[in-house]
Every structure is written in structure tokens, then in C-alpha cells.
Structure 1
Amino acid sequence: MVALRLCPIATIHDHTGTSPPPAAVAMAEGMGTCRDRLIDQSLTARYSGWILEALDELPDNFLISDPVISGHPIVFASRGFLAMSGYAREEVVGRNGRIFQGPATDRRSVMEIREAIREERTLQISLLNYRKDGTPHWILFHLCPVFAMEDGRVIHFVAVQVPIPRQSRCSRSGEREMVFGTCRNEVRLDEDCGCNLAVDSFLDMDNKGLDAEESCKASDREKEKALNAATSILSTMTHYSKLTGRVVCTKRCSSAGIVPLSSSLNISLGRIKQSFVLTDPHLPDMPIVYASDEFLSLTGYSRYEVLGCNCRFLHGPGTDAGVLQQIKDCIRAEQACSVRLLNYRKDGSSFGNLLHISPVRDASGKIAFYVEVQIDENSKGDEHGLSPKMRQLGVVGQVKVAVRSLSSRAGPSRTSS
């Protein structure tokens, strides 16, 4: 069975309720098409076309997500997960995992998951999720990162979900079984939040607002089942990655000198909907360490083809050497610059690139990256009427905020050099 893609459904209207200008519609459709293609290729480009069938044969309940794509979408949902949750595959692929949360999902548990993603580490935690029909169910959530061998960056997260049987999940000494509350003893239910945790076996509203002191812990058997499932899934992914020569591993195992960006920074940058790249001036040949979805759409290259490369692959016979020297001089002087440059797409076609380059400093004031924002001079104008220069400065500002906020708190992956 082939993993289906969820085509984004969006209606664009401004605050007046009128239809948007054609340029805005075309831009939204183009961005959606690019993202859809990245989701489709997220697994097959690295693990070969056989990976989807191999994963579909595994009996476990699990999801695979891609933190590099904007919105950190799900790129695969197993048959077991779909049966457990009641969703169809096309309703899940392309969406963020938050769609399974509900009013009674413990927010502190969600924050623990987000922190594990930011720190790119494995996590096991009990969690109250919701099926498609709205019924809540407890699961043991086992998260593990998947690293690329060539540069050590996180390319996927695997999330195994093992149902926690009713008899073992939430009990309180001296009282009847309870199936609501949180999974951690120190967390309390806040009745002011308006959360109704009613489940079919516990509808006693007199208990609403009680301290959530239930033990809600998965058994050792369930923990072992989750670990074994994760091991099997990761083994399958590793095996198929060897077929393409782009091997993955379960621990950071970079064989190159490039230190990857943190998943948290990747996710923050993914929210910026413009064509841009980040380059690292501290590494030999100043390689690209981040490329936006819109940059890939503009140039026709895949993310795997551009990361680790210098931007000169965009140059061609008509590229002005004088402009290239101007760019080098500005970088050497640690200054921003704006130029017009003839660049070339993967298919050989050329485009006039209105390029803006600016240094990006970390929280200590040192240059961490250079951001390069590209605008095709023949592209349709901005729907808000902003000039190319203003759009580029807006991107630079957003990148600087993302880098500085993350570099102010150290993590296992670098945000600055």
C-alpha cells in the first residue's frame, strides 16, 4: 500500500470577505504544491521507493514526521495506527501530530514532547490522545529521532504509540478505577480550564476538579513493546537507506564536518514563507546549512542536493563575475548587500535573482550565519503591496529572531559557531 498525501485544503480570503487577488492564489497554490512534493519524497528520496511498502507491512502503531518540512508534518502513518485512531491515511499525512490532542490532553506532557524534539532525544511518556470519533484513549508515546549519517542532522522522528489497557493505566488506592487525569503524579487538573475528561467508564461529574493523583503509568510490558517496535522500525529504515547510499542511524553519527542545525531552529525557520538559504561562514566553502521550501521550488533542486553545497551551483555562463566579487567583498567586510544576479535552475533555465545577503548574529553578537534571500524579478508582486526590498528585510528580521532566541539557550545541536 502506498502512503497517500493529504492535499491541503485552504480558502484564502481577506478580512473583508472578498476573494484574494489572483497573484495571492497562485502563490498559495505554488507553495502548497512544493510542500506536497517534499512530503511525497520525504521517505522515498532517502530510503528508496520500497520503503513505503516495507513500513506498511509492520504491525505496530506508529507515525513518521519530517521536522525539516514546514509545519513538521506527518509523512507516514502505519496501518496499525490508522486502525487505532479511526483516521484514513489521507487525513493524517501532511498534518501535524497535534490533531490527535484534545481538551483533556495534558499540556505539560505536550511540552515535554516538544522539548524532546528541540533537544533531539528519545522520550517515553503516557499521553491522552483522541480518536477521530472524539473518544479519548491513553497511549504510551515513544519518540525517537532518526539521524543522517552524512551530516548528523535529524531528518525524521518516529513516534510509536502503544495503547495502555484500562486496568493498568489509572487507579487510585481505596477508590474505584478512574480513567481521567494526567499521567504524572505532580500535575494537577485545573478545573478552571474547562476540560471535560469524561470517558464512557467514568461519568461521575461530582469528581470533576479532583487532584489528578492517578498513577496512569504504562507497564513494563508496554514499555518493552514500544521499544521493540521502535527498534524494528528504525532497523527497517536503516536497511533501506543503505540501498540509496544515504544511510541513517539512531544516534548522531556525522561523518562530515558540518554540524547540523537543531530541529527547533529548523521548525522556526520553516515558518518563514519566502525563498532563502542560510550559509555557514565558519565552515570551508561557506556551505548551505538550511534551504527553505520556497527556495527549492524556485530553483528545482531537492533539499538533499543543496545542503552542504556552496551557492555557486546556481551560477552559469551569464552570471556576472563583477557582481559575484561585490558579494564576496561584502561578506569579507561582514556587511549586508543587495544585488541583481542571473542564476540558473536545475533544469537549466535562467532567472533574474534579486538577491539580498545579510549577516545573522547569535545572542553573543558573533556572526553565526549569512542569510541569502532570493526573489525572482519576474515573479508576481506581493499580495500586500510590499516591495522586494521590504519583503527581504522582513525575512532577515525573522531569521535573526529565530537564531538569537535559540542561541541564547544551549542545546545539543548548534545554532551558532
Structure 2
Amino acid sequence: MEESTSSPTTQLGLIEQSFNCRYSRWVREALDELPESFTITDPSISGHPIVFASRGFLKMTGYSREEVIGKNGRVFQGPRTNRRSVMEIRQAIREERTVEVSLLNYRKDGTPFWMLFLMSPVFGKKDGRVINFVAVQVPIYAKQRRNGARFSDGGSGLPEVVLGSCRREVCSDSLLDFGLVLSLDTNPRESENDEIELSEASDLNKQRALGAINNILSVLTHYSESTGRVVCGKRCCLPGAGFLSSSLNISLGRIKQSFVLTDSQLPDMPIVYASDAFLKLTGYDRHEVLGRNCRFLSGEDTDSLTLYQIKQSIHGERACTVRILNYRKDKSIFWNFLHISPVRNASGKIAYFVGVQIEECCKNQDINGLNPDRRQLSAVGAVKIAVRSSSMGAGSSLS
């Protein structure tokens, strides 16, 4: 699979767009008025990054918004972060449900801290799919053992909630796929060698976290109404055809090649997923692509025989590779080395078709030691694994 060539500025632009097209532009100011420490993530964007961090969160962590937005939570974990808690959160994301755990993480200066972590999904009211995850962090008391003696926090007031440092040893894709894990501040003078023991979160801590979640959801619901894309804190309807689960979105986001996924079960086979690389190649925003048939990339000089060849391959449920003239959003043309392949779910039924694009001017480049054909087949294979794994997980969660 290719490495992403998107610049940090491009990624931040995608993140801003994903948030702004769902909510009114005034939502950021309203969220910043809330005193709680919280973050909001978007599972539909590659890497499941943080798309909003509250002003209170930034003040307590010492990070700037630019240092937080676009980051995935795994980079803020450390060697003593409890993997069982991490997996519990990961499973909740896969099952698109609320989770509450006590979690040890690391602040910017490398100090470990405890917090009560409450994460809840935000659903689209019309289609029932998960739009965002909201995570609230509430400080809890921690105990420490230093030089063999145990003691409780002796400072004045509650410890603060803070974000952990980037640690090379936990920046692996094999870890958590969420952008929410934060940490609890204690005494900044505590050394890395101290053993920190967790005290149980109180009922007051839990009430504070739940109250904060409700306040945030109220703001998001209100500011989504003006866009006509209303969200809610509970799934108001069952997801229909074309719905992609959060876990599938996250898995597809790891594939850096330019590709789209279309739903073969829906009329006109609309696009249900578009990679960041595809958006960069074509110049379109994600919301301008989803729900449309791929023919919108064609124009007056696109060869009709090539389009017919694609149509026949889809009807015959077989793969094909073509060279086709396509058009970007700005009407500029490019030659597209396109590979299309059916994608089957865990039951063996064709659920999607994947189209992988390589611009012809880049066709002769070997990336990661792979020629264009190999890169396309690698992307197709990764998509098939993601879809089958997701459909297997969905089946087991419903049984």
C-alpha cells in the first residue's frame, strides 16, 4: 500500500471540512463555552483523528489546538497504559456503543496520569450511522508508591486532565484505532520511576462525566439542525443499505491508495467510501462524492467503449483494468489507470465493488517496491480483508 502524500495542511483541511459540513460554523464557539474537558473524533476520516478539542481541554493539557487536531489517540499512550482498558475502548468503537473506563496515559512532558474516560457515539438521525465519538475526561484521585511508601495526592484540589506524550514504542498501527485517549494530571514533579496506583472513580466523577456528555450532545444536536443533517445521542433508526460501520471506516482509512467503494445492492451503485488519496486526486470534497455513481468523473471526451467495458465487467461480477480519461472537479483531465474488482462479504455474497485509481503520469513509479499492478492488487486485497472482517464482526455482535 502507498504511503499518504497528503500534507499536514491538506489533512487539517479535510478535518475542518468534515466538521463544518455537519454542523453550523458557530458550533465551535458554542463548544468552547463549555467548561468540560473533551474531544470529538471522526471515524470516517483516515486514522480516526481528533476533529475538535475543547478550550478547557487545551488549557489543562498545555497543548495548542494545532498539536492535537488530526492526532490519533494511540500516540498519547505509554508503556504503562493498561492494554486491557485500551482493548475495551477499541471494542466499544467496533460495536458503536458507550464505554467508561479508568485509564492511565501520558502528558506532554511524559508524566503518567489517571482519569475517568467516558466515550459515547453520535449518530445521524436520518441514516443511523455513527458521525462522531465524543470523549469526556474527568480527573480522579490517584495513589502513588515512592520508595516503597504509598501516599495519596497531597496537592490542593483535584489533579488535572492532560494529554500524553508521543512515544515511539506505541505509535504502531497494531494499537488502538481511536483519537480520544487522554490522561489525568497529578504532581508534575513525579518521576517516571514512581508506581502510580488508581483509586476508584467516585459516583460524583461518573455523574460529572455523564452530565458533560449530555451537554455536548445538546450543543451538537442544536447546531446540526441548521444544516439539515441532524445528529442525536441515540440511534434513532437502524442503518440502511449503504451504511458503513465505524470499524470498517477505520480499517479502510488505513489504505493509502486512491480508491472508492461502491454498494452493489443500491440503485445506480453509489459511492459509500472515498479515500483521502482519491479526494486529493480528483479535487472533490468527501460530501460531494458520497452517494454518487462514479460516472461523474467522465466527460465529453471519455471513451464510451471503455465505459461499456466497465459496465459489462460489473454485470458479469468480474474484475477489469482499463485506461480511461477522467475529469477533476476543476474540469482538468487526467488519464486514469483504473482497476475494478468485486468485493464479497463473509457469507461470500458480492457486497461492493472497489475501484482503484492510479494517474497515468505516476504509473511507472515503483512505490514501496511495488509496480502499479501490484499496488492496485494490494489495495484490493486490503479492502477485501477489511470488508470480510467487518461483516464477520457485525454478524457476531448481532447473534
Shorter-chain TM-score above 0.5: yes
- Aligned residue among 368, 393, 397 for 2:351: 368
Which residue of 2 is the match for residue 240 of structure 1?
A: 223
Structure with the higher strand share, 1 or 2: 2
- Aligned residue among 227, 230, 241 for 2:213: 230
Which residue of 1 is the match for residue 48 of structure 2?
A: 72
The residue identity in structure 2 corresponding to 1:77 is A
1:356 matched to 2:339: yes
Give the drift of 1:170: 9.2
| Mapped contact 2:325–2:335 kept (Cα < 8 A) | yes
The residue identity in structure 1 corresponding to 2:124 is A
The residue identity in structure 2 corresponding to 1:82 is L
Give the drift of 1:134: 2.4
Give the drift of 1:177: 5.2
- Aligned residue among 380, 391, 396 for 1:396: 380
Give the drift of 1:403: 1.7
Instruction: Write the deviation string for residues 272-294 of structure 1: whole angstroms up to 9, x where unpaired.
Output: 11110111111122111111001
Instruction: Write the deviation string for residues 256-314 of structure 1: whole angstroms up to 9, x where unpaired.
Output: 84342111111111111111011111112211111100111111111112212211222
The residue identity in structure 2 corresponding to 1:52 is R
1:302 matched to 2:273: no
| Mapped contact 1:44–1:52 kept (Cα < 8 A) | no
Could you tell me how far apart the structure 2 residues matched to 1:31 and 1:388 are?
A: 22
For structure 2, the 5+ residue unaligned runs are: 154-185
Give the drift of 1:338: 0.7
Which residue of 1 is the match for residue 139 of structure 2?
A: 163
The residue identity in structure 1 corresponding to 2:280 is S
Residues 149/315 of structure 1: CA separation in 2 closer, same or farther (3 Å cut): farther
1:126 matched to 2:102: yes
Residues 285/28 of structure 1: CA separation in 2 closer, same or farther (3 Å cut): closer
Which residue of 2 is the match for residue 267 of structure 1?
A: 250
SS at match of 2:18: helix
Give the drift of 1:221: 1.2
Give the drift of 1:51: 1.8
| Mapped contact 1:147–1:155 kept (Cα < 8 A) | yes
1:86 matched to 2:62: yes
Could you tell me how far apart the structure 2 residues matched to 1:110 and 1:264 are?
A: 15
Residues 256/145 of structure 1: CA separation in 2 closer, same or farther (3 Å cut): closer
Q: How does 1:371-386 map to 2 (within 5 A)?
A: 371-379=354-362, 381-384=365-368, 386=370
Which residue of 1 is the match for residue 31 of structure 2?
A: 55
Residues 305/176 of structure 1: CA separation in 2 closer, same or farther (3 Å cut): same
- Aligned residue among 112, 135, 143 for 2:111: 135
Could you tell me how far apart the structure 1 residues matched to 2:273 and 2:255 are?
A: 12
Residues 255/397 of structure 1: CA separation in 2 closer, same or farther (3 Å cut): closer
RMSD between aligned alpha carbons?
2.9
Residues 296/254 of structure 1: CA separation in 2 closer, same or farther (3 Å cut): farther
The residue identity in structure 2 corresponding to 1:60 is E
1:410 matched to 2:386: no
- Aligned residue among 291, 294, 302 for 2:274: 291
For structure 1, the 5+ residue unaligned runs are: 1-23, 180-198
Give the drift of 1:149: 3.1
Instruction: Write the deviation string for residues 339-397 of structure 1: whole angstroms up to 9, x where unpaired.
Output: 12222222222221111100111222221211111112133724346432222111111
| Mapped contact 1:149–1:248 kept (Cα < 8 A) | yes
- Fraction of identical pairs, as percent: 64
Give the drift of 1:50: 1.5
Q: Which structure has the higher relative contact order (CA within 8 Å, separation 6+)?
A: 2
1:346 matched to 2:322: no
Could you tell me how far apart the structure 1 residues matched to 2:271 and 2:67 are?
A: 34
Which residue of 1 is the match for residue 156 of structure 2?
A: none
Give the drift of 1:31: 5.3
Residues 53/88 of structure 1: CA separation in 2 closer, same or farther (3 Å cut): same
- Aligned residue among 77, 90, 97 for 2:73: 97
Which residue of 2 is the match for residue 9 of structure 1?
A: none
SS at match of 1:225: helix
The residue identity in structure 1 corresponding to 2:383 is V
Could you tell me how far apart the structure 1 residues matched to 2:276 and 2:75 are?
A: 23
Instruction: Write the deviation string for residues 236-270 of structure 1: whole angstroms up to 9, x where unpaired.
Output: 11111112222222223459843421111111111
